[in-house]
Amino acid sequence: MDHVLNPEEKVSQTNSESGGADGAFQHVKGEHSSPKLSASEKSLPGNTKSPLKRKAAEPDSPPKRPRLEEGHGSLVVTHYNELPETGLEIRSQSRIFHLRNFNNWMKSALIGEFVEKVQQRTRNITVLDLGCGKGGDLLKWRKGGISKLVCTDIADVSVKQCEQRYKDMKRKSRNERIFEAEFLTSDSTKELLSEKYIDPEIKFDICSCQFVYHYSFETYEQADTMLRNACERLCPGGFFIGTTPDGFELVKRLEASDTNSFGNDVYTVTFEKKGKYPLFGCKYDFSLEEVVNVPEFLVYFPVLVEMAKKYQMKLIYKKTFREFFEEKVKNDEQKMLLKRMKALESYPAAPNTKLVSGRTEDYEHAQKMVENGQIKLPLGTLSKSEWDATSIYLLFAFEKQA
Ligand SMILES: C[S@@+](CC[C@H](N)C(=O)[O-])C[C@H]1O[C@@H](n2cnc3c(N)ncnc32)[C@H](O)[C@@H]1O
């Protein structure tokens, strides 16, 4: 199957982003600078400009947001603990079925890449899954053939579900040797995990932090504590990998909006104001499929790069989802996995099935490819709204220096 996401959307790096970490860190106690949009970026069809306009025309009814005064940590706990576990049947009917699978495939490719690197020096791989949630990555660790996994999250119900999932996996695995696992409930922005591990001397080859680190950017102290938890027990040559919203992309989309909000029918991001972006505590609300998430905090990536040096961590790469996707999809094995995980939607829809979005404009990019005629059908794609939602994220990888 050939694939196309949104080929005309080329999100280039902003001036301030290429400015480098050193300069940016001088502003640690200051603010983000607003990235400037180039003329070509403004006219991109893939830019979120039109959905933003649509949003602006709507009456002022921001999504209901939990009160931060209740304490962000406890809001996170309540929110994630209360998320229902949905079966495959319900998930497959979701408007964002492919988006979720796509994000999952990205994590899978990232985890696979770093497990492979570590396998070159050891067969006994130990991993910390920081912000493990309900254990969505357990199968990935099993596939990676690791020896030991420590799963930790602030939400106790999620940790219990994660543990149960692990037990079920182990029970069903029969003769296959499954990694050992340990489960910890902890606020990694405030408590030290090193005081809680069963083995007080434990060392990790990988710390994986998927869609979590942005919760720590409420204050410098919290961001530093989470970073310490992620990195202090890594062996030399160990990796800190993860996914998080791209602060530059968020600010760019916000600045292009007429309101304090942007998004589309799939996702919405609402800031309190525009123009001032403190380095820590720059809060925004994120909602996906009309479900309001707990508030998140903007991560100014150059600051993270500087802060990580305190723990002997060197940035290997930071990639947008598009960059990473384009690189990984060249690999046949990853391409097969993309298909197996149903990470892209078939276009046109198969007989007796419907596309996830009923809006023609959501598939204009795919339709253009079909009309060009030089591709194998069906095509693998994401609706434009889903692509706009997933392309706010980036992936990162740091390595511990000897
Ligand atoms: C979007 S979910 C991602 C879960 C999982 N990593 C995945 O990719 O499926 C974010 C997770 O971060 C956890 N989290 C948020 N703040 C945290 C904190 N301070 N300490 C530990 N976990 C936290 C949440 O409870 C939630 O499970």
> Is residue 148 situated within a structural domain?
yes
pLDDT at 152: 98
> Is residue 61 situated within a structural domain?
no
Find the domain containing 297 and state its range: 10-31+70-83+94-328+386-400
pLDDT(290) > 70 = no
> Is residue 354 situated within a structural domain?
no
What is the spatial distance between Cα 15 and Cα 341, in angstroms, rounded to a whole number? 36
> Is residue 176 situated within a structural domain?
yes
> Does residue 104 have its Cβ closer than 6 Å to ligand 1?
no
Question: 68, 74, 75, 76: which to mutate for ligand 1, most atoms within 8 A of CB?
Answer: 76
> Is residue 64 situated within a structural domain?
no
> Is residue 206 situated within a structural domain?
yes
Could you tell me what percent of the chain has a pLDDT over 70?
81
Question: 75, 77, 85, 212: which to mutate for ligand 1, most atoms within 8 A of CB?
Answer: 212
Report pLDDT digits (tens) over 186-235: 999 999 999 999 999 999 999 999 999 999 999 999 999 999 999 999 99
Judge whether 187 is annotated as a binding position: yes
User: Long-range contact list for 335-341, CB < 8 A, 24+ apart?
Assistant: 337/105, 337/108, 337/109, 338/3, 338/105, 338/380, 339/1, 339/380, 341/101, 341/104, 341/105, 341/108
Judge whether 19 is annotated as a binding position: no
Report which secondary-structure segment, H or E, holds 102: helix 97-119
> Does residue 131 have its Cβ closer than 6 Å to ligand 1?
yes
> Does residue 222 have its Cβ closer than 6 Å to ligand 1?
no
Measured in whole angstroms, how far is the alpha carbon of residue 264 from the centre of its chain? 18
Q: At 240, phi and psi to the nearest 5?
A: -110, 110
Judge whether 129 is annotated as a binding position: no
pLDDT at 5: 66
Please identify which residue in the block is written with the tokens 């998930």. 91
How far, in Å, are 74, 85, 157, 188 from residue 70 at the CA level? Answer: 7, 25, 19, 18
Q: What CATH number does residue 203 fall under?
A: 3.40.50.150
Q: How many structural domains is the chain composed of?
A: 1
Ligand 1 centroid–CA 138 distance in Å is: 14
Question: Looking at 2-11, 205-214, 274-283, which range is the least confident one?
Answer: 2-11
Tokens standing for residue 198? 């069963």
**pTM for the whole structure:** 0.84
> Is residue 231 situated within a structural domain?
yes
Residue 294 alpha carbon, nearest atom of ligand 1: 15
